């Protein structure tokens, strides 16, 4: 019995338990960072309130859609990009700069458990973020939430695929940043450019045609369009650039970017700072 007890005590933790513990650590670090909390939760809510009030229009293109309702869909997509791409890339880059990744690599924690913890933290934070933005949309702009299962199924796959794409590129980009402290200054202009050209802050078809063509290369345009397909009435589809929601193309483009992000992550991810290699 003594031998059995000793064996049970010495039994190493499972992958699932290590992933759960790592997720808890990631959530605690997020909740303790006021800067991240403001950036992820409050900044999109402030933008939603300001832009919805400033560009107050109750009838875009004769569809009965207010700008506030249009903006909610765009801010959900943008928030996912901020959480999965920008915030994750910055946090991993800082972990590398402060030798956190180096110390983790020296522990029995599997690399997959580390990444799973990061991904689960992104998913949980994004769910809360979406809930807050939808609540604001309902109370401030009378956004009507879908009542049928088909729209919620569309929301589920667009949300998961879009978040997976953003997360893959967050991990991939983290290795391209040499300095964790300068990461925000490097990534913020990129994210802002994507937001302004992807139908987030302005109606997409009001942009110059050449800018629309450029934006179609990048995933945020398709992620925002997928969210509009969920939260805007079917009548608004005719006001899209292609005259429809193009959901198959949304899935294709997000998948292409997801695969590219995963390949680059596998090829370029590093645990050590450049000067330590």
Query: CB neighbours of 125 closer than 8 A, spacing ≥ 6?
Result: 30, 40, 83
Boundaries of every domain in the chain: 17-272
Report residue 65's pLDDT band, with 50, 70 and 90 as the boundaries.
confident
- Looking at the chain, the whole-number percentage of residues with pLDDT higher than 70 is 92
More confident: 155 or 181: 155
Least confident of 6-15, 85-94, 189-198, 199-208: 6-15
Whether 2 has a pLDDT exceeding 70, the answer reads no
**Overall average pLDDT of the 193-197 stretch:** 91
DSSP 183-198: HHHHHHHHHHHHHHHT
- pLDDT for res 23: 92
**pLDDT of 7 higher than 80:** no
Query: What's residue 3's pLDDT?
Result: 53
Q: What are 161-172's pLDDT values in tens digits?
A: 999 999 999 999
Tokens of 244: 């429809």
Task: Note the pTM of the prediction, 2 decimals.
Answer: 0.90
Q: Which of 224, 229, 235 is nearest to 247 (CA)?
A: 229
CB 230 within 8 A of CB 73: yes
Q: What is the pLDDT of residue 73?
A: 92
**In this model, does residue 188 exceed pLDDT 90?**
no
Query: For the ranges 121-135, 176-190, 253-267, which has the lowest average pLDDT?
Result: 176-190
As a whole number of angstroms, the distance between CA 134 and CA 231 comes to 10
């Amino acid at each position: 019995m003594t031998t059995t007890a000793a064996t049970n005590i010495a039994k190493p933790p499972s992958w699932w338990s290590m992933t759960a513990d790592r997720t808890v650590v990631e959530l605690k670090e997020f909740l303790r960072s006021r800067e991240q909390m403001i950036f992820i939760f409050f900044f999109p809510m402030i933008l939603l309130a300001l832009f919805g009030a400033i560009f107050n229009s109750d009838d875009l293109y004769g569809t009965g859609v207010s700008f506030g309702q249009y903006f909610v869909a765009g801010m959900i997509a943008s928030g996912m990009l901020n959480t999965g791409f920008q915030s994750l890339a910055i946090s991993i880059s800082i972990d590398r700069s402060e030798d956190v990744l180096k110390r983790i690599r020296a522990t029995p924690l599997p690399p997959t458990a580390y990444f799973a913890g990061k991904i689960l933290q992104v998913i949980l934070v994004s769910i809360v973020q979406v809930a807050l933005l939808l609540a604001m949309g309902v109370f401030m702009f009378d956004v009507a939430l879908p009542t049928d299962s088909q729209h919620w199924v569309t929301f589920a796959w667009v949300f998961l695929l879009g978040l997976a794409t953003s997360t893959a590129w967050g991990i991939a980009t983290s290795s391209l940043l040499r300095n964790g402290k300068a990461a925000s200054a490097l990534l913020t202009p990129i994210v802002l450019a994507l937001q302004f050209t992807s139908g987030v802050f302005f109606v997409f078809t009001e942009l110059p045609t050449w800018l629309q063509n450029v934006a179609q290369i990048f995933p945020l345009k398709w992620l925002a369009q997928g969210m509009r397909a969920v939260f805007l009435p079917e009548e608004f589809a005719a006001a899209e650039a292609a005259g429809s929601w193009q959901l198959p193309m949304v899935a294709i483009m997000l998948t292409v970017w997801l695969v590219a992000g995963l390949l680059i992550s596998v090829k370029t991810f590093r645990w050590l700072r450049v000067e330590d290699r």
